[in-house]
Amino acid sequence: MATAAPARSVERHGATRGGGARSKSVAPGLRRPAPTPARARPAANHDGSSDSCRVRVAIRLRPKNAEELAHGDDFDSCVELQPESKRLKLKKNNWSSESYKFDEVFSENASQKRIYEVVAQPVSVLEGYNGTVMAYGQTGTGKTYTVGRLGKDDPSERGIMVRALEHILSSMSFETDRVAISYLQLYLESVQDLLAPEKTNIPIVEDPKTGEVSLPGAAIVEIKDLEHAFQILEIGEANRHAANTKMNTESSRSHAILTIHLQRSSRIKEETSSSFSNDVQDIVPDDLPLVLKSKLLIVDLAGSERIDKSGSEGHMIEEAKFINLSLTSLGKCINALAENSPHIPIRDSKLTRMLRDSFGGTARTSLIVTIGPSARHYSETSSTIMFGQRAMKVVNTIKLKEEVDFEILYKKMEREVDQLTSELERQQKLRQSEKMLWNKKLEEYEMSFRDLKKTSNMQIETLENEKHQLESAVRKLAHDLAEEKGQKTLLYEQITHVEKLLNETKQQQLENLSRTKILDDTSKQHEKETGELLRQLEEERRCSASYKDRLSVLERQLCDAQSSFQESNVRALEAELSKANEEFTSQVQSLKEKISKLVSEKELIYDELKSTKEKVQQEIRQRQDLEDQILRLKQSGSDNFVEESKTSFGMVRSGSGLGNASYLSKSGKLREVPSSQRGTISKIFEEVGLSNVLALLKSEDLDVQIHAVKVVANLAAEDINQERIVEEGGLDALLSLLETSENTTIHRVTAGAVANLAMNGSNQGMIMNKGGARLLANVASKTDDPQTLRMVAGAIANLCGNEKLHFMLKQDGGIKALLGMFRTGHNDVIAQIARGIANFAKCESRVISQGMYFSIWHRKGKSLLIEDGVLTWMVANSNRFSASTRRHIELAFCHLAQNEDNTCDIIASGGIKELLRISRESPREDTRNLARKALDSNPAFLKEVQ
Ligand code: ADP
Ligand code: MG
């Protein structure tokens, strides 16, 4: 059991879906019939093509019952049917009759099936329209037979209720559609439920908005199949019979109303949704679930006979009044509707209220009017026919009973909402995770952005710093460039100035050269004069000698005269002598003065020459300085000046070569004497003669001696003069000077001359034999003059280079003297000492390597140098002094080490360490090799080294 839920009605105007024009929506309920044209075309109304639908009325004539058949002519039929013209002829008597046209006229032979098909089936609610099938007629004319006959045993007997349910059940879908029934009885204006008899006086409810009538208190039973329908209808019938029995009445006194509720699913979209408000449209889906909710009312009315005819009394009268009330009201309503009356008294009875949709409402309505044939009931039959005639004038406006299926819609939307909610949640979750991801990424990006910013800031800072640095560098460069330009200009100016100076210097040099030449010439002239004077001097000397001879003769004569002549003569002679002597003395004096003057002049010239040479030297140095300066300037300047300056330097250099006056070089060898000087000396040598020059060495005049020694020393520097000087007694004279002279200059120059002569191998023996070494040692012991000592050391060093003289040299104290000169500490002297030692050691080593021992000059055994303490000195001083000195000492070490006899002394003196050092560190490879060779070849050394 279920109760009908109130539903929002969606009414579609029009006869059928999808066809025909639709009428304007009119509220259901009390409505006026359609305008006349609609009523004028009744035939067209029921085919569903029009929204206006007239109530269709059919007449059914009951067959004569047994009674009527029994009475025969007394009860002739007053009714004559003309089915072909759908007319009924009602005979009042044999001469008076009325003809009425109906929608259908059924004779007494009409089958139940045909009645259903023609009257009820067109009212089918399957299309979604409400429908009403109502039987009207006098009691016993077959209303119940037509409408409510169950015909369970004989299907042909089945009435409209059963056939309608059968038709609906066979047409509907049990999956989507529903059919339910309620079965009510209206008796004495009380609605009773025939399916639930306990429910009486059920109220009728009308929807104030739609006017829809419902009876919520009534039971509605859903029907599953025909069998079920039969059961329910049987229950209803039984209840109706029981109620009538209980109330001591007959079924003909009550109205029975079967309502078939049909609900069918439908799918209509746009047309439907457009009828919603905007708010609703927003939420209503396009495929709106729609439902057709239609009702079919099958009404079996109480008999329409008059009360007076029923013969009732008391309660019956009351009953008839009520029966009449509903029927009267129905008649009044039909009349009002038929006459288009402004007032339809629907509310006068419950029946009219319940049937408000059937007449003048939205339902399709068919009325089956049952009549009996008997003339006895002529008036009842006539009024019944008139009722039918009036009902035919009632026009309904049918409406499709379509509603939105909110239940399905709700479920669907609930499902969709669920889906959307879950989808939303899923999306939210997704968004959340995406948001987290993006946040994380954002953080990462921000972090990397910060890092990047930091890095780029640092880079910008660095770049800016670099930029500033570069800018300052550029500024500095620009400044430097400007300075460079200035300097360059200055350099150009300087170069120009220097070149100018150079030119001037050149000019001056040329002048100097010419002056030198003049001086040279003057010097030559003077030398010539000197030679002349010397010759004169010689002559004077010869004169002097002759004078001396003459004097001695005179003295002898005087002595003789003293004894023989008179004293006066003596005096005269003495006076003469004295005069002659004075004369001679003055002559000698004047000569001496002349010589002295000449010598001083010569010295002056020499000095001048010297100063000129120094000046020239100075100029050369200046020029070289200038050249260097120019070179430096030009190197610092553009390369374009290089070639030019080289050329000019070349020109300047070509003028160099004027020598110095040193007789000995540091190495002990004679330097090349300048050509001009050599020329002068050789001229002196040629013009004066070697013997004269040598004779001057013996001059009593010191200056003469000095100059003569200088000349000899210079001559001795030339190889070709050395032997000749010795041969002509020069060596003797020089050695004599060394021995006798006390003059330092004499000592120095003489030692130099001896040193030069000692360069010659054949002279060395002579020098030694004549005691030269002893004399040199003597000089060395007496002076501290470094230049003298240098000459002496040089001479001895040269003598050291002759192995035959070694023994004698040692004997004469030469080695000791050599070593003794170390006391001066003068580098030039020490260089000569080292050279002498190296010479000595080298010669010794050569003798040993050649295996030749000269018993006279040399002996086998340890070095003579060692006895005089040379080795000790070497060890103490090996690594001092100048490079050449060191090299000589190193060489001496190497040579001494070659002699096995020196081994013990070398080891004892610590010389082995020096040897080792020399073998590793000596700047000269040959020396290193020599040291190594000495070390490697001597087992004692090797042992020491290890
Ligand atoms: P009502 O309901 O109008 O009072 P009923 O339906 O009860 O009349 O009919 C009275 C009697 O007439 C019943 O016995 C019924 O069987 C019979 N009857 C009515 N109409 C016909 C008909 N068309 N054919 C045969 N019998 C009928
Ligand atoms: Mg009946």
Give per-residue pLDDT as tens, 752-766.
999 999 988 888 988
Is the CB of 65 within 6 Å of ligand 1?
A: yes
Number of the ligand 1 atom closest to the C-alpha atom of 62: 23
pLDDT of residue 910: 85
> What phi-psi label fits residue 48: left (phi over 0), alpha (psi between -120 and 50 degrees) or beta?
left
pLDDT of residue 944: 80
More confident residue, 535 or 795: 795
Is the CB of 148 within 6 Å of ligand 1?
A: no
Q: What mean pLDDT comes out for the span 199-225?
A: 91
Q: How far is the CA of 73 from the centre of ligand 2 (A)?
A: 27
> Mapping DSSP to helix (H, G, I), strand (E, B) and coil, where does residue 294 land?
strand
Contact 120, 367 (CB under 8 A): no
Contact 757, 738 (CB under 8 A): no
Pocket test for ligand 1, best of 62, 113, 143, 309 (most atoms within 8 A of CB): 62
Pocket test for ligand 1, best of 134, 144, 145 (most atoms within 8 A of CB): 145
- The helix (run of H) or strand (run of E) holding residue 525 is helix 406-564
Is the CB of 63 within 6 Å of ligand 1?
A: yes
**How many percent of the chain have pLDDT more than 70?**
80
Residue for token pair 């030009």: 634
Is the CB of 927 within 6 Å of ligand 1?
A: no
Is the CB of 638 within 6 Å of ligand 1?
A: no
Torsion of CA 149, 152, 153, 154, to 10 degrees: 50
Is the CB of 350 within 6 Å of ligand 1?
A: no
- Whether the predicted pLDDT of 9 surpasses 70: no
- The helix (run of H) or strand (run of E) holding residue 599 is helix 567-636
The rounded distance, in Å, linking the Cα atoms of 733 and 554 is: 34
List residues bridging with 195 in a β-sheet. none
More confident residue, 221 or 615: 221
- Whether the predicted pLDDT of 228 surpasses 90: yes
pLDDT of residue 603: 79
Q: What mean pLDDT comes out for the span 331-355?
A: 93
Q: Give the confidence band of 792 by pLDDT, cuts at 50, 70, 90.
A: very high
Number of the ligand 1 atom closest to the C-alpha atom of 110: 23
Q: At 877, list the tokens.
A: 């001083």
Q: What mean pLDDT comes out for the span 575-586?
A: 79
pLDDT of residue 32: 34
The rounded distance, in Å, linking the Cα atoms of 643 and 910 is: 57
pLDDT of residue 563: 67
Q: How far is the CA of 69 from the centre of ligand 1 (A)?
A: 14
Q: How far is the CA of 785 from the centre of ligand 1 (A)?
A: 192
pLDDT of residue 282: 57
H runs (alpha helix) in 392-405: none
The rounded distance, in Å, linking the Cα atoms of 264 and 627 is: 133
432 annotated as a binding-site residue: no
Q: How far is the CA of 83 from the centre of ligand 1 (A)?
A: 21
The rounded distance, in Å, linking the Cα atoms of 84 and 919 is: 166
First to last CA, the chain: 135
More confident residue, 295 or 283: 295
Reported as a single tens digit per residue, the pLDDT across 166-176 is 999 999 888 88
- The helix (run of H) or strand (run of E) holding residue 643 is helix 642-653
Is the CB of 254 within 6 Å of ligand 1?
A: no
Q: 536: burial class by Cβ within 10 Å (0-12, 13-18, 19+)? A: middle
List residues bridging with 221 in a β-sheet. 181
- Whether the predicted pLDDT of 46 surpasses 90: no
Q: Give the confidence band of 642 by pLDDT, cuts at 50, 70, 90.
A: very low
Contact 400, 272 (CB under 8 A): no
Mean confidence (pLDDT) of the chain: 80
Q: Which residue minimizes the CA distance to atom 7 of ligand 1? A: 140
Q: How far is the CA of 140 from the centre of ligand 2 (A)?
A: 6
**What is the separation of C-alpha 512 from the centre of its chain, rounded to a whole number of angstroms?**
79
Q: How far is the CA of 894 from the centre of ligand 2 (A)?
A: 172
**How many percent of the chain have pLDDT more than 90?**
31
More confident residue, 669 or 743: 743
Q: What mean pLDDT comes out for the span 463-473?
A: 90
612 annotated as a binding-site residue: no
Q: Give the confidence band of 807 by pLDDT, cuts at 50, 70, 90.
A: confident
Q: At 202, list the tokens.
A: 């059920």
Q: At 190, list the tokens.
A: 């009380």
Number of the ligand 1 atom closest to the C-alpha atom of 65: 12
Q: What mean pLDDT comes out for the span 883-890?
A: 87
Q: How far is the CA of 136 from the centre of ligand 2 (A)?
A: 10
